[in-house]
Amino acid sequence: MESPRNETTISVPPGAGCPWHQINWTSAQLWQEVAIAVLAVIVLRSTFISFFEVYRKNQRHGQIRAWPLVGSTLTVTANMNGLHDRFAKWQEENDVVWMTYPFGLDAVYIADPSTTEYILKTNFPNYPKGDEVQVRMREFLGHGIFASDGQEWKDTRKMASFQFSSVVLRDFSADVFKDGAILLARMVSQFAQSKTPIDMQNLFMRLTLDTTCKVGLGIELGCLSPSLPEVPFATHFDLANELSFVRYLDPLWKFKKFFDIGNEKVLRKCVKEVDSFSYNIINKRKIDIEASKKDGSKRPDLLSRFMSAVDNSGEMHSDKVLRDHLVNFIIAGRDTSAVTLSWFTYMICLHPEVAEKIYDELARLEETDNSSQDAKQEDDPFTRFARVLTFYNVAKLSYLHAALTETLRLYPPVHLDAKVAVNDDIFPNGMQVKKGTLVTYNAYAMGRLERNWGPDAKQYKPERWLKDGVFHQESPFKFISFHAGNRQCLGKESAYLQMKMTAAMLIRFFKFELVPGQNIEPRLMFVLTMKEGVKVIATPR
């Protein structure tokens, strides 16, 4: 048969000892076979290197068992139930814990204060968020303060710091927090009268979404309305949070994103709803600000203050920048406080003696304060007590402050925080870290390690924070719940103010008892949300 033009036929002579001698190959087929052979060599070489690398890494002190190509994912997935406690156990057994992400990315988990101080303060420039962290959060958090680095982060933090230092914003926040606490107490009272179980995490999430949107965005969502309405934005926001975190455990997330399938398709839809909510608020606020210019009034909410400010170039902030600020503020102001109050409720149910000590402290405050004398006759008990909860009175509640801080120690809202090493480095303990390594401090483990807190580390003891009845602050690199160093939380005092007002209102009027048979464990998210909430029975005092 005549061969096609521009192609050569290669025949193997008879008797060559190979069955292929009967085959005629074209040059195209030959190159195809060569390509397959080269690819096979590359795959075999990569597999050999992968096995060698995995073997070497598995010999490291503190290494979570790794496998070729998939890294430690299989081991972590096998421990998915109770993963936070499993990681804490690993940290208890080792000074550092190594994890290998799919395709060879190294991650080291630390849980000692000195190394944490080193990466967050001493050598801060070498440990930014980095691309590997930012890319997983980008769709959800954009370029906000939690997902930015370098000059972009500095500019964002500078602007936020200026706004948070405002006395006007502080006083406005205190009023909003107090009104929210009253509304929550009335809601709990309705459940208490009928002895109906209450999911307190649900109520706290509604409360803090309402107050965060009021303080941060200047809007009222009405999440704590008597009917407890569905809040689609909150549902989409929480799911976007969870799916963004799952990217750290899913080696195929980029593949799924490219083809818009699985979790990534759901994440895209959730972010679209979050964006729609955010831009709608921004557009309405522009109209409000223009209207307020006519009468010379200024809105006290954070979004209005951001929209009235300019960036370093003297330009007004774009809608995208405002959107990112808005989303980051919500996750900071809503999720963290609600999560802490949920775990606090769980703790006082397990330790009712703590609730009684807080109640006694509140009773002493009422006895020495005459603010309630200004109460109107028509005020209900909740409103009258709220008059006692001034900014300065709340600061006197040392035992309540200690009880909330002890909750934060054991259940830090931001339980993990990751950085990326820009250059090779050596930690204070002598451990070497290569460029590109993901360095994560494990706040959840740090609060439970005996080497950090002593033999009673796992016990809930508010008294550990008090000396002669006065609250004593530990190093922020040991008590890491509000981050530390250059990235320390700007809203720390605001968060404490709301949590103390809310907890004081509830404990003053109610006792709480856990509904039996619950499975109380964290959900895998950027914040330590309870997987199924915390259900209680409230009894009026």
And the tokens for 164? 């948070």
Is the predicted pLDDT of residue 40 greater than 70, yes or no?
no
What does the domain layout of the chain look like in residue ranges? 1-59, 60-540
More confident residue, 378 or 11: 378
Torsion region of 387: left, alpha or beta (phi above 0 gives left; psi -120 to 50 gives alpha): alpha
- Sequence-separated (6 or more) residues with CB below 8 Å from residue 179: none
Across the chain, mean pLDDT equals 87
Is the predicted pLDDT of residue 5 greater than 80, yes or no?
no
Whole-number pLDDT of residue 10: 44
More confident residue, 373 or 112: 112
With beta carbons less than 8 A apart as the criterion, state whether 534 and 518 touch: yes
- pTM (2 decimals)? 0.85
What is the rounded distance in angstroms from the CA atom of residue 539 to the CA atom of residue 349?
A: 12
Dump pLDDT digits (tens) for 324-350: 988 988 888 888 999 999 999 999 999
Weakest mean pLDDT among 60-64, 152-156, 275-279, 505-509:
152-156
Average pLDDT on 225-254 reads 88
Instruction: Say yes or no: domain 60-540 is CATH 3.10.100.10.
Output: no
18 annotated ligand binder = no
How many Cβ atoms sit within 10 Å of the Cβ of residue 44? 10
Dump pLDDT digits (tens) for 140-178: 999 888 888 888 888 878 777 876 777 778 888 999 999
Amino acid at 448: R
Is the predicted pLDDT of residue 109 greater than 70, yes or no?
yes
With beta carbons less than 8 A apart as the criterion, state whether 135 and 141 touch: no
Dump pLDDT digits (tens) for 462-498: 999 999 989 999 999 999 999 999 999 888 999 999 9
